[in-house]
Structure 1
Amino acid sequence: MALVACPECNHQVSDSAFKCSQCGHRLRKAKRGLFGTLFKWSFILFNVLMAVWLFSSFGIMGEAMQSSQNEYEQAGAAIGSALGMGMIVTTWALGDIILGLLVLFTRPKEA
């Protein structure tokens, strides 16, 4: 354990300390562990994939509406599209809640 000078008050503190014990100046940032990093990147990737899925479903919905022959088929396509959008948004919200809590619980802690 080596001692280093705090850049703010020049007090000698341990090189493994996160904050200066004298003035409270932040010396270094805590890093995430392996699971914290995995959860953080899975949260980001999940949101990107859900956004792509949502926007691609808009195109599919438009094609279904235009290829319909009569108003009954258009109504069915509209109902099916609304249900599909609801499922996507519900999956997105539940996934974000679960992954967000995992990211929150695995965040780095400062001593």
Structure 2
Amino acid sequence: MATGFGFDRDAVVEAARQLTNVRSELESSGQQTSRLAPTGSNEVDVALQDFTTAATRHQTSLVAAVAAATARLDGVVAGHAQLDSSLGSQLPTNQPSKGKTHE
């Protein structure tokens, strides 16, 4: 029913699935980060550590944003199902009514 309004459930489900994969890849790449070896220069070591800390913070924010987008898409699918069910229950059926007839 609600698909008549231009909603492509399969496309939304696929987008949510792809975002879930992106999130998994981001989380996996974050776990692969190894401890930096000393370079022999305190300034370079501090700069590399600052960069690593900022990159990890950014990655954490990105994972959270992807998770939020996935949750919203899941909500769209659930809302679509609820709307479709609600609209479907409002439509008359071809079954004869059980009551007075207007003849």
TM-score by length of 1: 0.56
Q: Using CA pairs below 8 Å that are at least 6 residues apart, which structure has the higher relative contact order? A: 2
**Shift in Å, 1:67:** 4.1
> Which of 14, 17, 21 is residue 45 of structure 1 equivalent to?
21
Q: Secondary structure at the match of 2:23?
A: helix
2-structure distance, mates of 1:92, 1:72:
30
Q: How does 1:21-60 map to 2 (within 5 A)?
A: 33-56=9-32, 58-59=33-34
Q: How does 1:1-111 map to 2 (within 5 A)?
A: 33-56=9-32, 58-59=33-34, 62=35, 65-107=36-78, 109=81, 111=85
Structure 1 consecutive aligned stretches of length 4 or more whose deviation exceeds 3 Å: none
Alignment-mate amino acid for residue 109 of structure 1: A
1-structure distance, mates of 2:43, 2:12:
50
Gaps of 5+ in 1: 1-32
2-structure distance, mates of 1:98, 1:82:
24
Identity of aligned residues (%): 3
Alignment-mate amino acid for residue 42 of structure 1: Q
More helix by share: 2
RMSD in angstroms over aligned alpha carbons?
Answer: 2.2
Q: Secondary structure at the match of 2:58?
A: helix
